Structure formats: structure tokens, C-alpha cells
Structure 1
Amino acid sequence: MNASAQESTMFQKPRPRASTVVGALILMGGLLLTADYANAQAVYPTPAAAADALQQALATYDKDALRKVLGADYKQFIPIGTIDMDDVYAFLAAYAKHHEIVDDGKGTAHLQAGDEGWTLPVPIEQGAAGWHFNIRQAHDEVALRRIGRNELAAIQTVLAIGDAQRDFAKAKGETVYARRFISHPGKQDGLYWPAADGAPESPLGELASTMDPNAPPDEAYHGYRYRILTAQGSDAPGGARNYLEDDAMRGGYAVIAWPAKYGQTGVMTFIGGSDGKVYQRNFGPQTASEAARVRRYDPDPGWQRVPDSQIANE
């Protein structure tokens, strides 16, 4: 299962069959099952037993079991409601194929599943009573994985925009590129226009509708915002020049992608141009204002090139 499965939502448990009422029996026995006890997180004799309990809870769609296994805060990690079932099946298949416990010898262990060593971001920790999942310790790791996934998606999107620009020029039959993501109404002057009978399909498709540079962070495509650049600087191949000629973008194309919320949806800012390369830079907490000042594709020494090997592996 890939890292994104950790933040997927959990599917609804099927409605249970009617069962006998045990409350009266408990009271008759003079026992009071408190809410704290009922919701207490389970501990296990070994990390492997904890891992097996998690696998069983997922395999049986049992949210009560998940609460027992992961603790009362489990919904922050696996919120019930809209899980992608493929993620669950992928994890269960990987677990069945191969799984192992990696113990650091200091009271913390991690579950690895599948042949590629995918690691569950929730550590299994040893306490006085036994081993348990520490979901609070998973928050930082989940956030880091989310950022990494968003950044990889941003790199691929920058490249996809380049492909779309070349398709746009090919469709026009001349060297001219789109200055905007969304076409003006009734026109085909952007990378996206509504589908219509007899009309060519737009190069970027509906993906372009998610690239509003002013979109709220929770609506930004994989946590990133995008803007088309209409010029390049002296550090770009061929030197400084304006791409615009007679109000048409003929001299090249470029794009910038920056995190909608620095440190939460992403860290690195990316630029890519008609040379097919992608560069990255960490502008820090001032990313939004710094990205707004980038008006040209100019990969000066402050930018680091994203290795081709990293791009090819995605």
C-alpha cells in the first residue's frame, strides 16, 4: 500500500445483527463498565500480536476493533466514512504476502508490509503492560509523507503542463502556447475548454480547473497552486526574453508551482520550462509572497534541478 493509504478514510462497517442485551447482566453482576474502560486501547504481548490485531480490524471492517487497536484518536489517522477500498485491499494483500516487525531494541517497533518494505507510520511502543500503537507519534510522519507525495505530484504536474503546451501548439499548427489554464468562454485559448461535439479535446482536460492560483488550500491540486510564466531570465537556455509576441505566447512556455500552505501541503516551490527541466527551491515561510514575485523562468543558482532519475521513477 502506498503512503497515501495512511490518510485515506475508513469504510463504514456493515450494520450489525441484533444481539442480546448485556447491560442488565453486567449490572446484575455488580459490575460497572466505565466509558474509559470500554474505550481503552488494547495492549499486546508482542509487536507481532498488535500488527495481527490491526490486520484483523481492517479485514473485518470493524471500527470498534480499530478503536481498541489504535486508541480513541484513531479517526485522526483513519477517519471512518470514505475509504478507498483499493487501499485496504492492497494493504491486506501486501500483509498476507509478507510482513515483518522491525524492532529498534529500545522499546519501539515498526510494521513493514509487502515486498518493498512499506512501513506503517504508526510506531508500536512498549509500555509497562505490553505493546501498543502510539498514534500520536504518527502525526509528524504522516504529514511528512503527505508533503512528499504532494511534491512528487507537483513535479509530475509541471511536466504534464509542458506536455499540454506542446499539444496545444500542435493543435494550432504553429508555435504558439497557451497563456492561461482555462479558456475564455467560447474560445480555445487556454489549456482547457469544455468538451463539445466535433471540437478537439482540450490538451490538459478538467485538471486545469483545479489550478486556480487563488484556490483555498483544501481545494488546491494536491496542495499546490500553479501559474503560467510568460518570460524567461538570463539563466534559462537562450538567455532572457519575453515569450509574448503580438499578444501571443510564441517564444516558449514555463510554469511555477508552489505549496498552498507552506509546511503543511508542501515545502518546495517548482519551476519548469520548454527545456523540459524542473527546478526546486525552498522559499521558507514567505513562500506565498516569494512565489508571487517570480514572473520569469529563471533557474539561477538559487534553484536546484530535480534529478532526471527522480522524475523517471515517478
Structure 2
Amino acid sequence: MIRFFRENQQLLIRRMVMHTANLKLERVERFWFFWLPLMSAVALLLTVMVWVRVSVAQETAQPTYASAEQATQALYEAVQNDNEQRILQILGGRKELASSGDELEDKTERKQFAAKYQEMHRLVWQDDGSMVLYVGAENWPFPVPLISEKAKWRFDADAARQELFFRRIGENESVAIHTCHALAGAIVNNHRESTSDDEITQYALNLVNAPAVNTRRTPADPFYGYYFRKVSDDSEVADGAVVFVAYPAQYRSSGVMTFVITSDNVVFEKDLGPNTARLAKAISKVTPDLSWQLAE
């Protein structure tokens, strides 16, 4: 009897042990059943993310070239094909070097560069060991120099940022002044259509024929980094009064000075500061005061 009881007791203990083991095994199986697919998915996602990052890094990495000539040829081909992404890559991923933000201006500048490059181009050594690309018969210097590192050439984007910034502002302001004079000329010619295919002349004619824009609205699109606002219609304009206002789309980025053109074809300029857009929209058809200077 005792032996039978002991055997039953031992059997019961074994069953309890086996039951406990089965419960643990079942819990483990449940754990892996529910969590293994999720862990696998997370691992796969992490792998994909790493792969994407590596791929993007490889795609956006600035290319280097065996010679400065190869680098300039690659840039020319990208510009000729109007491939902004490739231009951006060649110039070190600096958006401000590849685009002004004005699509019309970008296309015009790229066409001009490609034409000048075909006309003539040469590389000139600088005192610091870099090289500068000159294009066209006028020997226009490309603002991004080339440098050599470990026998590989690339465009030095860091050195070009400030140079290009000042150039772009100067060019935009020059175009703005010419456009102001073209606007006055279009008014004198009584809005007659011009046979000229000059970009500035055509833009001025279209703007003169448009209705005046009130002080609460911003003109639709910038022209070479500047907004042009028609202040009043011709019949309302007194001698020497403001007819158009030209102000930078982005102050200290696309331009600095604000320009006004009067009815007698005189252009004045003034730095309106950080609140340029608001102040320029408030300019009415009054004669400019002494705080405005003649634009050169």
C-alpha cells in the first residue's frame, strides 16, 4: 500500500513536472508564434532602411574626376540637358548653386552657360592651387572653383557660396532696373506690341497691359528674383509719380534694393530692410521722397 502510494505520489509529481514543463513550452511557443513574425518584419524594415540610406548617399555623393577638364565637361553636359538633379550632384548638393528658385531664370541662365561654353572655355590656375573655369569670348568666370584632393578633382561648393550670392543679387538688381526702364518705355509707346523678342521688353509689355495690383496682393511670379507691382493706371498718374514698384522676392537672398519707376522714366532705389515685402506693397503713386536715391 505504501509502495503504491509512493508510486502514485511519484507519478503525480512527474505529471506535475511535465505539466509545468508543457506550460512553459506552450508559453515559449506562444511568444515566438506572436512575436517572431513581428521581429522578422522589424529586422527586414531596418535592413531596408539601411539599404535606402546607403543608396541615397551613393546617389547624392558629389562625384570626383580624374581631371578638371572632365569635371567641367560633366557640368556642361548636365546644364545642356537641363538636368537640375545632376547639376546639384556635381556642385556638391548645394541647392543655391544649382537653382535660384526662379524656374524661368534658371532655364535662361543654363542656356546662356551652355552657349558660352560651346563658344569658348578654358581653365585657369589660381594662386591657391585651385582652377577656375572661364566661358565665352568675354571670359566670364564660373563662380564655383575646382580643387584637387588625392589626385581627384571636384567643384568646391563652399568657396562659391558667397561669391555666387553677391553675383546673383547684383544681376537681379541690374535686370530689375532695366525692366523698370522697359516698363516706362512701354507706357510711352501706348502699350503697343513690340516686334522685339527681348525677354525684358516682352515681360514689361505684358505687365503694363495688366491691371494695377492693390496693396494686399503679391504679384503671381517673380521675374529674375523680383516682384513688379503696377501701382496705378496711366490715366491716374501725375508727372514724377510712381508707376511701378520692384522689390525682391526674398530680401537679402534674391535682392536687397527696392526700385520705383516714375512716370518720367526715372528709377529710384532704397533698402527697405527686413520688412521689404510689406513696405513695398504699401507704396502708392506719390513722388519718391529724399530717402530714395537715383539708381545707377
Q: How does 1:184-195 map to 2 (within 5 A)?
A: none
Q: 1:254 aligns with which of 220, 242, 250?
A: 242
Q: Comparing both chains, which one has the higher relative contact order based on Cα–Cα distances under 8 Å and sequence gaps of 6 or more?
A: 1
- Determine which structure has more spread, i.e. the larger CA radius of gyration: 2
| Residue deviations 1:187-220 (CA, integer Å, cap 9, x gap) | xxxxxxxxxxxxxxxx943565497454547724
Rounded Cα–Cα distance in structure 2 between residues aligned with 1:271 and 1:250: 14
Which residue is 1:181 aligned to?
none
Segments of structure 1 that go 5 or more residues without pairing to the other structure are 1-33, 172-202, 231-242, 308-314
Change (3 A) 1:254 1:77: same
Which residue is 1:134 aligned to?
156
- Supply the AA of the counterpart residue of 1:131: W
- 1:104 Cα shift? 2.3
- Number of residue equivalences: 222
* Percent identity over paired residues: 28
Q: Look up the SS of the partner of 2:261 in the other structure.
A: strand
Rounded Cα–Cα distance in structure 2 between residues aligned with 1:205 and 1:162: 13
Q: 1:278 aligns with which of 267, 283, 288?
A: 267
Which residue is 1:298 aligned to?
288
Q: Give 1 or 2: higher helix fraction.
A: 2
- 1:61 Cα shift? 7.5
| Residue deviations 1:17-47 (CA, integer Å, cap 9, x gap) | xxxxxxxxxxxxxxxxx63456543323443
Q: How does 1:83-102 map to 2 (within 5 A)?
A: 90-102=112-124
Rounded Cα–Cα distance in structure 2 between residues aligned with 1:121 and 1:163: 34
Contact 2:146 2:156 in 1 (8 A): yes
| Residue deviations 1:264-287 (CA, integer Å, cap 9, x gap) | 232111122233221212222232
Change (3 A) 1:104 1:162: same
| Residue deviations 1:160-191 (CA, integer Å, cap 9, x gap) | 332343344x99xxxxxxxxxxxxxxxxxxxx
Change (3 A) 1:99 1:297: same
Residue 52 (str. 1) matches residue 73 (str. 2): yes
TM-score (norm 2): 0.57
Q: Look up the SS of the partner of 1:219 in the other structure.
A: coil
- Supply the AA of the counterpart residue of 2:238: G
Change (3 A) 1:74 1:101: same
Change (3 A) 1:126 1:160: same
- Supply the AA of the counterpart residue of 1:249: E
Segments of structure 2 that go 5 or more residues without pairing to the other structure are 1-53, 193-203
Change (3 A) 1:67 1:146: closer
- 1:56 Cα shift? 4.5
C-alpha RMSD of matched pairs (Å):
4.1
Contact 1:59 1:92 in 2 (8 A): yes
| Residue deviations 1:91-148 (CA, integer Å, cap 9, x gap) | 3442233212233221432211111122223221232443211335444444434433
- 1:262 Cα shift? 1.5
Rounded Cα–Cα distance in structure 2 between residues aligned with 1:55 and 1:108: 19
Which residue is 1:266 aligned to?
255
Contact 2:131 2:145 in 1 (8 A): yes
TM-score (norm 1): 0.54
Change (3 A) 1:216 1:108: farther
| Residue deviations 1:201-242 (CA, integer Å, cap 9, x gap) | xx9435654974545477244422424279xxxxxxxxxxxx
Q: How does 1:106-121 map to 2 (within 5 A)?
A: 106-121=128-143
Contact 2:251 2:274 in 1 (8 A): yes
Q: 1:224 aligns with which of 223, 227, 233?
A: 227
